Amino acid sequence: MATSKGGNTTTHINTLHHRLYHALNLGFRRVCDEKEKKWECTDIEIQRHVVKSISAFLDCFSKGTSNHRLIKDSVSDIAKALVFILGYKNRAVVGLAANVVISIQQLEVSLPCAVALNGVLLNVRETKEKDVWRVLEDGKVVVSVVGNLQNFSEGSVSVEWFQEMALLLSTVMLKWPQSRYIVWNNSSLMVMLESISQKPDMGLRVATLKLYSSLALCGHGASELLDNGKPMLDMMISCMDESSPHNARIEGLKLAQRLATGNRECLKMINICSEPLVKATVRTMGKWFLSSGKLEQDQMSLLVETCKLALITRWEGKHHIYFWKYRISEALLSLVVENFRSLSLDGYASLEEEISVAEKVLNANFLPSLRSYVWDIIGFLAAHCEEEFDSILRGDELRLNFLVTCACLTFSRSVQKGYQICQNDIISASQSESASRAVLMMIYSPSEFISSRARVTLSFILGEDGEQNLNSLVNFLSYIPSSGSFVLPNVLQTTVCLVGLACYSSIPQYASFILRKQGLEILLSFCSWYQRNRNNIGASSFTPYPQSIAEKRICCWACMEDWDNKDAFLLYSLLALAELVNHSLNEQNHAEEFSLKREKVKDRLCNTLQEIRDATYGSGPRWYAAHILSYFGYYGFQHKLGKRLMGAYEDEKCSDMRLLFSNGNSVSVNKIILAVRCPTLLPPEEGTHNGSIISTEKSQRTVQEIRMSANVDTLALVKLLEFSYSGYVEVESTTLKKLKTLARHCKSKVLLQMLCRRRPKWGSSIPRIDLPLALTPKLIHFSDIILVPQETNMASFNCRLCSSTSPHAHSHRVILSSGCEYLRALFRSGMQESHLDRLNVPVSWLGLTKLVNWFYCDELPNPPSGCKWNNMDTEAKLHELQAYVEIYSLTEWWIMEDLQNDCARVILSCLESARELSIKTIELAASFSMWKLVEAAADHAAPIYHQLRDSGELDELDDELVNLIRTAAVQFSQQGG
C-alpha cells in the first residue's frame, strides 16, 4: 500500500475515482425543485460497495496530497453518501462506514460524517448496545479516535474537527464503559488534553471538559485525573464563571459533580481547590436574580446543575467553612423566596410572626423542583458544621434562621398529613422527605445555634396538637411489626414517622410523652423487625440524589458512603432510642417508669444493639448502637483484629515492657501496641525515632520495667490498656470517672468520646485499630523481625526504612504471633530459628505484601478491580493469582484457616471473571498439592470444557487433572448448565 500512497500514480488515482463515481451514481437522486443532488439507497449490498470504494479512493492519498483536485471535487458527494449510510443504521455497514469516517484525513468529509456517526451512536437502543460495541471494537474505533486526537496540533486541523472527534469519543465512553480504560491509560493523550485545555479557546475547553467528564464516569479514571489535577480543576472552575458561555458553565459543573461521585475522590478534589470551587458554586446559585428578574430556561438548567454539585456538602471536609463564608444561606434563600430582595428579616417581633411569613413563602411554591436540593444542602451543612462555627456566620444568622423555620414548617406539615402523604406526587414527596432529613440533621447538629433554633421552632409549630400528632406517629410505628408484613407499608410515611420520633425525642417534654406511650419498646420491636426483614426493604429514599442516566453508567467507583444511605430506617430509630434512653436515665421523674421493666427491657435492648453494632449495617446505625450501649457500660466496637491483639495482651511471654504499680501488682504490655494506640504510656525516649536507618543487629530480648506513680488508678489503667488493645471495654460505673481522667490524659479520643457519651459525628467511620502505623518510619525502630520472600532478585527494590536492596519486609513478632499459632509456637520454641531476626517466607514479593497487610489490617487486599483487571493481560492476571495461591499454600503449613478462606474467596472470584485462567490455576494448585483448590478451579473450567479441549489447552495437563475437569464438566451439563 505504501507504494500506491507515496507513488501517487495518476492513472491509479483516476481508476479509483472512476470506480468511486460508478458506485456513488447508484444512489444519487435528483430532487426536482432543488439544484442539489441527494444520495439515498437502501440496498445493503450497494451501501457496502460504496463504502469500500470510498475507502479505496481516499486511501491512495497521503496527508500531503489531501488537497488534490479530485478530492476537492468529490468531497461533498462522499460526505452525502456516508451520512446517509450512517443514518440508515444497518449494523454490518455502519461498522464499515464508521471505520472509514474515523480514518478520513480530509476535513470536509470527516466533519459531517463524524457528526452523523455521533448521532447514530447517541441513539443506539439499550438492547443493541452489545452488538454495536462489537462493531466498534472490531474496527478499533476507539484506538483510532484516540490516535487522531493525539495527533492534533493547532493549525493543522480546525478546532471544529477537534471538537467533533472529542464529542464522538465522549459519546462512546458514556455508553460503553469498556472504552474508558484505553483513553485514561493513554498518558500522552492526557498530557495533550491538559495542554489544550489551557488554551483560551472556549470551543477547545468545552470539548476537553466533555472528554474529562466521560472519563470521570470510571472511578479509576477519575482518580487518575485528580493525581496532579490542578490544571484541569483550574480550567474547570474558570469555565464555571459567569463570564463563560452557558454550555461551558454546564460542562464545568457536570465534571465537578462526577469527580465527586466517591468520598475519597471528592476529598482529593477539595484538597486541591476547595475555596474557588465553593465560591463558584455559591456565586452561581445566588446570582441568578441579579441578572434579570425572571428565570430563563438556561438559568434553570444552570441552577439544577449547581444544586447537584452543592451536594458535595454531604461529605465532611474543609469545603464546609467556605460554604458559610460565601453566604450559602443567602444563596439558598434566593431559591426558596420569590423576590428575595424584598424580604426583610430583621423586623420580626416574634417567632409566630416569622412562621406566618414562612408559611406564605412556602405556599407561593416558588421553584418547586429545586426545593428538595435546598433542604438536602442546608441539612448536610448543619450536620457537618463545627461546634464553634457561630462566629463564621457573621450577619447571616437571620437568613439561616429563616431557612430553619421553612424546613421545620415543611417537615411538620408532612407529619400532620400522615396517611395523606402521596408517594406518587414525586416533587412534593421528595420535598417532604428531604425536609424531614434536613430537620433531623439540624436537630442533631454539633452547632448549638442551629440545633436549639430547630428545637424551639419545632416545638412551637407542634404546639397544642403535639401530643395528638405524636400519638399517631407511635401508633403507626407499632403497627408495622405487629402486622406480620415483611415490607414497609409506605416508604415515605415510615421515613417521616421515624424522623419525627427522632426529632421530638430530643425535646424533653415530648420524650416523656413518647416514653409513656411505650415508645421505647415500640422502637425496639421495629429494630428487631428491621433486622429480620432487612433484605425485603429497599432504599429508604426514592429520590436520593437525583441521578441522570449517565450516572447510572459509572464503573469502578467503590462508593464508601454508607452512613445514612444504607439502613437509614434503622439509623433514624436508633437516633430516637438514644434520646429516649438518655432521657429516662437522666431524669429522676422517669426513672421509675423505665425501671418498671428495667431488667427485661434492658436485656432485650442491649442484645439488639450488640447485634446491630457487630453486623454489617451502615456505619451510622452501628455507631449509634455503640453510642446507646455506652449508657449501659459497653464502650467501643469489637472486631477480629482487636480480639487477636487481646490474645497477645493476655500472653505475658509476648511482652517487652512491664508496668509496676505502687501496690505491688504489675501488668505486661507491648511497646509497639502502645506506640500505636496510646503513646503517652511509653517512657519519653521510646516514643519517637529520629535516625532514618534502623539497626538490623540482633538485639537481646529484654523486658523493660516502668514504675507507675501512686496516683494512677490500677483498675482504670487496666481498662485503658484493654481498650487500647482491643478497641472495646466494659466498665462499671464506679471506675468511670477515673477512666475518663486517664483517657483525657492519654488523649484516647474515641474512648473519651464514648465515656462522655457524646453523640457520634454525622458521617464518621467506624474506628479502626491503625496497626499499619507501626510500619511507618517514625515507629519502625520497634520492628524486631524481618520477613524475606522467596524472590530475591528484584531490580529496583528500595526499602523506605533501611538501605538493604534485597526484597524484605519489616515486622513485629507480637503481631505475627497474634495472627498465627504456628509462628507463636516457633518464636518461643527455643529452637535456633526462634532467635533469628530474619524469617524466610516461601511466597513471592507480591504475596508477602498481601500477607503483611493481612497481619496488620486483618484484611486480605483484593487484586486490581474493574477496568484495571479487565485490561490486564493473562500473564499479569496469573501473576496476581499466583500470589494468592502461594498464600493459600502457606496457610496449610502455618495453620491459618481464616486467611485460607479469604484466599479461596479471592481466587474463585478471579476465576469467575476470567475463566481462561482456570487451567493455569489448576496446574499451579496441583503443583502445591492443594486438591481442594484444584477441584474448585475445575468447577470453574467446567462450562468451557469443550472449548478448552478443542483448543488443545488441556493437552498440557496431566491425565489425572484432565479427568477431573471432564468429571466436573459432565456434572455441570447434568445439572442443566
Residue 81 near residue 24 (C-beta atoms within 8 A):
yes
950: DSSP letter: H
38: helix, strand or coil: strand
**Dist. CA 530–CA 535, nearest whole Å:** 9
Q: How far apart are CA 256 and CA 319, in angstroms?
A: 14
The minimum distance between CB 220 and Zn ion, in angstroms, equals 5
The residue among 108, 35, 38 whose CA lies nearest residue 71 is: 108
Tell me whether residue 71 or residue 809 sits nearer to Zn ion (CB atom).
Answer: 809
372: left (phi over 0), alpha (psi -120 to 50) or beta: alpha
Of residues 507 and 914, the one with the C-beta less far from Zn ion: 914
How far is the C-alpha of 886 from the C-alpha of 845, rounded, in Å?
Answer: 11
Nearest-approach distance from CB 177 to Zn ion, in angstroms = 6
Closest to 176 measured CA to CA, from 215, 208, 150, 149? 215
When the beta carbons of 509 and 806 are compared against Zn ion, the nearer one is 806
Q: How far is the CB of 273 from Zn ion (least distance, A)?
A: 24
User: What CA–CA distance (Å, rounded) separates 74 from 750?
Assistant: 76
Q: How far is the CB of 743 from Zn ion (least distance, A)?
A: 35
Those residues whose C-beta lies under 8 Å from the C-beta of residue 317, and which sit 6 or more positions away, are 266, 267, 270, 274
Which chain residues interact with Zn ion by CB under 5 A? 218, 555-556, 799, 801-802, 866-867
* Smaller CB separation from Zn ion, 680 or 692: 692
Q: How far is the CB of 508 from Zn ion (least distance, A)?
A: 51
C-alpha to C-alpha distance for 901 and 861, rounded to whole angstroms: 13
| Burial letters 549-588, b for 16+ CB under 10 A, else e | eebeebbbbeeebbbbbbbbbbbbbbbbbbbbbbbbeeee
Number of H helices, E strands in the chain: 52, 10
Nearest-10 crossing angle of helices 897-913, 874-894: 160
DSSP 601: H
Considering the complex, what minimum distance in angstroms separates the CB of residue 842 from Zn ion?
Answer: 20
The distance of closest approach from Cβ of residue 263 to Zn ion in the complex, given in angstroms and rounded to an integer, is 17
| Nearest distance in Å: CB 393, Zn ion | 42
- Residue labelled with grid coordinates 470510571: 218
C-alpha cell at 508: 424533653
For Zn ion, which is the closer residue by CB, 173 or 232?
A: 173
Query: What are the C-alpha distances in Å from 713 to residues 398, 661, 675?
Result: 50, 9, 21
- For residues 307 and 559, give the distance between their C-alpha atoms in angstroms, rounded to a whole number: 21
Compare residues 786 and 957 and give the one whose CB is closer to Zn ion.
Answer: 786
Nearer to Zn ion, 178 or 198 (CB): 178
Q: Which is nearer to Zn ion, 214 or 494 (CB)?
A: 214
Q: Which is closer to Zn ion, CB of 774 or CB of 801?
A: 801
Who's near 695: CB < 8 A, 6+ residues apart? none
Adjacent-strand bridge partners of 704: 657
Q: How far is the CB of 850 from Zn ion (least distance, A)?
A: 18
CB-based contact 522:477 (threshold 8 Å): yes
Name the residue nearer to Zn ion (CB basis): 218 or 672.
Answer: 218
Q: Retrieve residue 16's grid coordinates.
A: 479509483
CB of 810 to Zn ion, least distance (A): 6
Say how far apart CA 186 and CA 77 lie, in whole Å. 36
Minimum CB–partner distance for residue 555 and Zn ion (Å): 4
| Owner of C-alpha cell 482456570 | 918
Nearer to Zn ion, 27 or 866 (CB): 866
Cβ closest to Zn ion, residue 645 vs residue 867 = 867
Cα dihedral 737, 739, 744, 750 sign: negative
Q: Rounded to the nearest whole angstrom, what is the least distance from the CB of residue 395 to Zn ion in the complex? A: 46
Please check whether residue 919 is in contact with residue 953, taking contact to mean a CB–CB distance below 8 angstroms.
Answer: yes
Nearer CB in complex with Zn ion: 202/555: 555
Least spacing, CB of residue 215 vs Zn ion, in Å:
9
Bridge-based pairing of strands 704-707 and 657-660 is: parallel
Q: Are 567 and 621 in contact (CB under 8 A)?
A: yes
β-strands 28-30, 37-39: how paired? antiparallel
Q: How many residues does the chain have?
A: 977
Supply the minimum distance, in Å, between the C-beta of residue 130 and Zn ion. 17
Minimum CB distance to Zn ion, residue 883 (Å): 20
Compute the least distance from the CB of residue 213 to Zn ion, in Å: 14
Strands (E), 662-719: 666-669, 704-707
Contact between 806 and 792 under an 8 Å Cβ cutoff? The reply is: yes
Closest CB to Zn ion among residues 583, 813: 813
Q: Which is nearer to Zn ion, 222 or 332 (CB)?
A: 222
Query: Please, which residues bridge with residue 729 across strands?
Result: 635
Nearer to Zn ion, 706 or 773 (CB): 773
Contact 269, 277 (CB under 8 A): yes
